[in-house]
Chains A and B, each alone.
Chain A
Amino acid sequence: MTRVRVTAPRTAARPTPRLSASSPALESEVGQVYVRSLIRSQLRLAVVVACGFLVVLTACGLLIGLVPGIAEAELLGVPFAWLLLGAGLYPVIGLSAWLYNRAAARNEARYRDLAQDG
């Protein structure tokens, strides 16, 4: 590794870094169409996963709050409300994240294929 002079990483007039790795995406109109569709699909994916998680969260809140007796019902000696909120929601969070990562990587792979062909 070469020695680098210690300087400020940015100055007042620093231009935003130019794209180097993905410049073909900028040069053609077709490239931009692909980029826009990538952004749309990533956003749709994120919103779907977030909404799915929020639905589960709301359902848990309603279950505990509205179904009489369910919060106190014991499972393995621990009240159900404690099990659900204290431990049960974490696997849901992890699963959502794992599914999202796979789908997001798939969107990017699809974009790569398109961009290379085009």
Chain B
Amino acid sequence: MSPAVGIAAFVLVSVATAVVGFYGLRISRTTGDFYVASRTVRPWWNASAIGGEYLSAASFLGVAGLILLSGTDALWFPVGYTAGYLMLLLFVAAPLRRSGAYTIPDFTEARLESRAVRRVTSLVVVAVGWLYIVPQLHGAALTLRITTGLPSWLGSLAVVSVVCLTVVAGGMRSITFVQAFQYWLKLTALAVPVVFVLLSLAGNNTPPVADAALNPTSLPTAGAYQNISLMVALLFGTLGLPHVLVRFYTNPDGSSARRTTLIVLGLLSVFYLFPTVSGLVGRVFAPELADGGRADALVLLLPGRLVGGPAGELLSALVVAGAFAAFLSTTSGLVVSLAGVISQDVLGGSVAGFRLAAVLAAVVPFGFSLASDSLALAGSVGLVFAFTASTICPALLLGIWWRGLTDAGAIAGMATGALLCGGAMVTGTVMGSTTPGWLAQPAAWTVPAAFGVMVLVSRATKRRVPASVTRIMTRLHVPERKLATERTFVPGTSGR
């Protein structure tokens, strides 16, 4: 592929992102706008935005790459990424929207009446966000290197710069429009090339090169434990992702939060069909793309490889644009939610503080990404899910559904999950390919451990159950009055 195509695609996406972002700027006025777009976003817009934000480098590049490498074992990834939203719908969506909190630390503090819980939650949220941004930047680095031959770090730097600019300029209101736009861009950028590749395969009667059941790099198949543990991580990790949760506050009420989630499930299901087809086509018709650690670039290379000619170039440009949309949207979503947490807890909560925090939230993982090597994208994002499933997920689930949760229990449980899962991640990184399965996929034991410790310590500290628990549980679960107006939720008026 000629370098100009890649660069042009990136510039186009960045400009389009900025234009949509600045269009949104004109209606972004108050701090409320900055954080949650004043909670006036319609379900379809909001669902597209959630999809746009959620479909990261791991979904756009990583899923197809992993399917190329490990076949049906990798199909559990997109299923888990989607089913995670089912769990979110069942256990979290409506109550969390009704909590009236802006961020996860806001929620845990209000629920448990404890500043200490707030601080611990904030630490975990920032850790999760940074861990999740790093693979996005690795994806950007890989894409830029493969498509243009430019040095990898330039790709990461470009993404960080564009994200900082849009977030600092527009806040969440414009982010919602940008994200919604980027879902449809990503879907188009994956679907159109796949359709053309299939047409050209059928038209040329291309014979299959390899058997779909054989792994091209003779990677061993994953055992049952690996797959189960992965599903635990993905199912329970999604509902703890900070950038996903903050989106739910932009629904007007609890039942529209549920409607939005249902639409999101549809959008994700449609999206994941395409990386799956790409992966299968790659396995059967172009297994050599798995060599040399560039499997994650499969969707970028497939059109040039199987369609070829000017049409192949054009389709490649479209995929590159979609890939950058994926890095930009997920990174900016994470940066917004991290900036919300950092600015409220460290910088006093002003708009200027939010801007400074946004830059901080983006620059630190940029440093990490330069210092670390790119792993398989879907795998490294999968580990972040394991981490949220072992920390934020138990605190949210028990906080929403169990009156007995105490601040001491929540802190002990989150600390246990963070230490066990973080420890497994670090050990796994040090040991590399010799890591045993139970350490490589830790969720199956770290998640129950975190839940267990949270329940046991809460039981032991019964007297610390906050007096407000009845009031808050009522607020979380009782449906809003049918004609409730936005005015009810304006910060500063409802609390006095």
Contact = CB atoms under 8 A, between A and B. Distances in A.
Interface of A: 3-4, 6-12, 14-22, 25-26, 32, 35, 38-39, 42-43, 46, 49-50, 53, 57, 61, 64-65, 71-72, 78-79, 81-82, 85-87, 89-91, 93-94, 96-98, 100-101, 104-105, 108, 111-112, 115
B76 A85 contact: yes
Contacts of A86: 75, 78, 273, 276-277, 280
Interface size class of chain B, counting residues whose CB lies under 8 Å from the partner chain: 35 or more
Nearest to B275: A86
A91 to B, nearest CB: 8
B473 A39 contact: yes
B35 A9 contact: yes
Contacts of B47: none
Interface of B: 29-32, 35, 72, 75-76, 78-79, 82-83, 85-87, 89-91, 94, 100, 102, 106, 110, 113, 115, 212-213, 224, 227, 231, 255, 258-259, 261-262, 265-266, 269, 272-273, 276-277, 280, 344, 348-351, 401, 468, 470-475, 477-481, 484, 488-492, 494-496
A57 B213 CA distance: 21
Chain A binding surface, main DSSP class:
helix
Nearest to A38: B477
Contact of A53 (B83, B478, B480): B83
B280 A82 contact: yes
Contacts of A11: 349
Contact of B349 (A10, A25, A71): A10
Contacts of A10: 102, 106, 344, 349, 491
Contacts, number: 170
Given A18-B471, A50-B91, 19 more contacts: A4-B30, A6-B350, A7-B492, A8-B350, A9-B31, A10-B344, A11-B349, A16-B110, A16-B468, A20-B488, A32-B470, A35-B478, A39-B477, A42-B477, A46-B91, A78-B280, A81-B75, A86-B78, A105-B255
Contact of B478 (A8, A9, A111): A111
Contacts of A61: 224, 227
Contacts of B261: 97
Contacts of B86: 49-50, 53, 93, 96-97
A19 B79 contact: no
B269 A21 contact: no
A34 to B, nearest CB: 9
Contacts of A79: 212-213
B32 A100 contact: no
A22 B495 contact: no
9 contacts: A8-B344, A9-B492, A10-B491, A16-B468, A16-B472, A26-B474, A53-B86, A86-B277, A93-B265
A101 B258 contact: yes
A42 B493 CA distance: 30
